Amino acid sequence: MLMISTGNKAVASAVKDAKPSVIAAYPITPQTEIVEQIAEYVSSGELMSRYIMVESEHSAMAACIGASITGVRTFTATSSHGLLYMHEMVNWAAGGRLPVVMANVNRAVGPGWNIWAEHTDALQERDTGWLQVYVGTVQEAYDATLMAFRIAEHNDVLLPVMVNLDGFLLSHINQSLQTEDVGDFIPPIQLPHAIDINNPRGYGTLTGPDDYFKFRWDIERSMRDSVKVIEETQGEFAKRFGRPYGFTEDYRCDDADVLIISMGTLGKEAEVATDLLREEGIKAGSMRIRWFRPFPDLDIAGKEIVVIDRDYSFGSGGILAEAIRSRCRVEPYSVIAGLGGQEVTYEDIAGFVRDRRPGEEYWFGVKPDV
């Protein structure tokens, strides 16, 4: 079905089509519309799920963990401080090898209090064992949510997946959306270590030094194995529904001398900047990172790199720039822009490329110390 939809409602539509058995919900700006729309689907009978209204984001993830360990499909959504409040349970979901799917509507972290777009909230969770995908359009928000269930529940993965979409810039914007008859694209969940409620047992969760590292390695092994599962899932999705995806979305990269690397809606703005720069004779290209975990292998050798981070790790730098620097052995021009919803236009991005200084860091809007 073709419609006009916000990013939030696109996620909710994908959840309806994926048919999770349990949804745990707690509202927080700017993702509230997701759980409100899902509640409407449940109340109308369009989605036959147990909808649990909880008292906090921590409880939302705890409810998903409790449901998931019984072997059923689960979903929740959050944003910013809600995600931070979940942090303890976010670790538990990954450590328990539970394929929870969560939409996170990226929002700045206070103080100062700010409800607009920034990626620092999700990137603070990058080391917990969750797969993370960052989307750039309303259609991609729907598609990535559908694929997240299939990827998370694959027995070679069994790790939770976080679908990230920029607050307001994508969550509340209206774009065209094509929903699908999902059919058997998402197979029934088969959790091999599910608890059988009809055969109760006691479980000891204390793990000593001789075994703990083995569980951590198993998460890393599955993160590595997820690469193949993601590729297969995206390939099957393209075959069935005609919309191809990769670990990155590349625009005019093949013959580019300088690449603009970013995530989320900044990547779509960078495509317009690329066209503008090409008209000026600058052979630019845009590479939008979709999957931050697992982090992709990037073919960027021999090119100048401009990285735009809508995030920051204090005392270290832009998180995306640091990942590219360490994984690809390049010295990018690191631009910190868009924090807390700061407006960044394609003209601004083109300016970053024109003024690039490899190996340096630039804060957009901040005057340099004299």
Cβ proximity of 47 and 16 under 8 Å: yes
For the record, the structure tokens of 361 come out as 């860091």
pLDDT at residue 369, as a whole number:
66
HSE, side-chain direction, 13 A CA sphere, residue 251:
20
**Domains, the chain:** 2-241 (3.40.50.970), 248-363 (3.40.50.920)
pLDDT per residue as tens, the chain (370 positions):
999 999 999 999 999 999 999 999 999 999 999 999 999 999 999 999 999 999 999 999 999 999 999 999 999 999 999 999 999 999 999 999 999 999 999 999 999 999 999 999 999 999 999 999 999 999 999 999 999 999 999 999 999 999 999 999 999 999 999 999 999 999 999 999 999 888 888 888 899 999 999 999 999 999 999 999 999 999 999 999 999 999 999 999 999 999 999 999 999 999 999 999 999 999 999 999 999 999 999 999 999 999 999 999 999 999 999 999 999 999 999 999 999 999 999 999 999 999 999 999 999 999 876 4
Interacting residues of 365 by C-beta distance below 8 A, sequence separation 6+: 337, 342
C-alpha distances (whole Å) from 249 to each of 215, 268, 311, 330 are 33, 9, 20, 20
HSE-up of 318 (CA within 13 Å, CB side)?
A: 28
363: closest CA among 346, 301, 230, 340? 340
pTM (whole model) above 0.95: yes
- CA dist list (Å): 231 to 66, 161, 165, 227, 296: 30, 15, 21, 6, 11
277: helix, strand or coil: helix
Distance from C-alpha of 189 to C-alpha of 196, rounded to nearest angstrom: 15
DSSP assignments along 87-106, one per residue: HHHHHHHHHTT---EEEEEE
